[in-house]
Structure 1
């Protein structure tokens, strides 16, 4: 009989004696009253970029959807299976979340595959090739720029993909309507795994900036008293 991974069992035991013991009442309240997270985070499956860890959030605070390269497809109400779209619908319509964050990260394997669709062990005919075709036009443009290094191309597409997903979010009628009513805010963020830095997208310009720089820019743009 195959045994459950020991590392996971040890981690669970530590969880029960540590965090769960400290937050037992909170978990019971969440179980009885249900969840009411304030933010939906669409993040990558990458094991190095867990939103709950990066944002230091406890149980019940974030509703997290993770897929390859943290992408949102356009609104397509057909008879196919749409896991990410279903999660967005549930978060917005049922949970009434106030924020959606598309969080990309550095050194993303999905983005690397989009820039080089023939890289091993992937191929354009498999699931990842089809999924990453969502950013194919941008990938082709960036990959053809000979003045950029491969690392620069990677970072550029990681960030362009975040903007693309935010644009696709606005094709969901209820997302667009709630944003226009001021009841829902859409955000972009990019996490640098190697340094731990978080870059936040300026909603007005689309530029990615460190939060401290973004706050300074916002203050500078305010009219003088």
Structure 2
């Protein structure tokens, strides 16, 4: 595809205009130090963010992060699979290992969200391809689904989805602890595992309180830089 034909596509053209703005912001002489430092010293993010691929939930936008601040892994329904010793193609596990072992991040954050299509597919399996990659991937959250149905047997679809979106975060936190190198990082250097939930319908953020085994809404007014 030639550049001329590429730039006739509206959405691609919009992306290129966005890239031009990015260059103007970060590569002008007075701002060049941002990427000059990242290029010469390498990346040193403090946080590994595991979030959903949903186009409405971009961690960098949600948390106003600058380049180099977060190492981001995105997948369907922000799931973490349990540790497996077989050397298959484990993209999510490989990214987690690189962030924790090589980059030595200090926090691992799992970011779930409202209206997650992956979680909804657990309750509406006809919405995805039978025997496909999504269906297999979502089995990671089967435990969360069973817990929600047991706890809220009379709930409707929306309640089940909302509760499972949160419960699956707890499942992924549990799965994180099954990785030996994460357990080691927790014990030896204080690695923090954090679960958060973004309600995109109301613009609210909640965090998982493991002591209370529940999600509590973050009071933004009490947050100070």
Does the alignment pair 1:170 with 2:173?
no
Query: What is the Cα deviation at residue 149 of structure 1?
Result: 2.1
**Matched residues in 2 for 1:155 and 1:162: separation?**
12
Does the alignment pair 1:195 with 2:195?
no
TM-score between the two structures when normalised by the length of structure 1: 0.88
**Matched residues in 2 for 1:124 and 1:142: separation?**
23
For 1:223, the equivalent position in structure 2 comes to: none
Specify every segment of 5 or more residues in structure 2 that has no aligned partner in the other structure, as ranges.
none
Query: What is the Cα deviation at residue 195 of structure 1?
Result: 1.8
Aligned partner (choices 5, 12, 24) of residue 17 of structure 1: 24
For 2:41, the equivalent position in structure 1 comes to: 33
Query: What is the Cα deviation at residue 24 of structure 1?
Result: 1.8
Does structure 2 retain, via aligned residues, the 8 Å contact 1:187–1:203?
A: no
SS where residue 96 of structure 1 aligns? Answer: coil
**Pairing 1:105-124 to 2, within 5 Å after superposition:** 105-119=113-127, 122-124=128-130
Distance 1:91 1:124, change over 3 A: same
SS where residue 189 of structure 1 aligns? Answer: strand
Aligned partner (choices 3, 7, 12) of residue 6 of structure 2: 3
Does structure 1 retain, via aligned residues, the 8 Å contact 2:47–2:71?
A: yes
**Matched residues in 2 for 1:12 and 1:63: separation?**
20
Query: What is the Cα deviation at residue 177 of structure 1?
Result: 1.8
TM-score between the two structures when normalised by the length of structure 2: 0.88
Aligned partner (choices 90, 102, 105) of residue 110 of structure 2: 102
Specify every segment of 5 or more residues in structure 1 that has no aligned partner in the other structure, as ranges.
216-225
**Matched residues in 2 for 1:210 and 1:137: separation?**
24
Does the alignment pair 1:142 with 2:145?
no
Distance 1:19 1:148, change over 3 A: farther
SS where residue 77 of structure 1 aligns? Answer: coil
What RMSD over aligned residues (CA atoms) do the two structures have, in Å?
1.8
SS where residue 43 of structure 1 aligns? Answer: strand
Q: Which moved more, 1:152-161 or 1:140-149?
A: 140-149
**Matched residues in 2 for 1:162 and 1:34: separation?**
30
Query: What is the Cα deviation at residue 127 of structure 1?
Result: 0.3
Aligned partner (choices 149, 155, 161) of residue 154 of structure 1: 161
**Matched residues in 1 for 2:27 and 2:202: separation?**
30
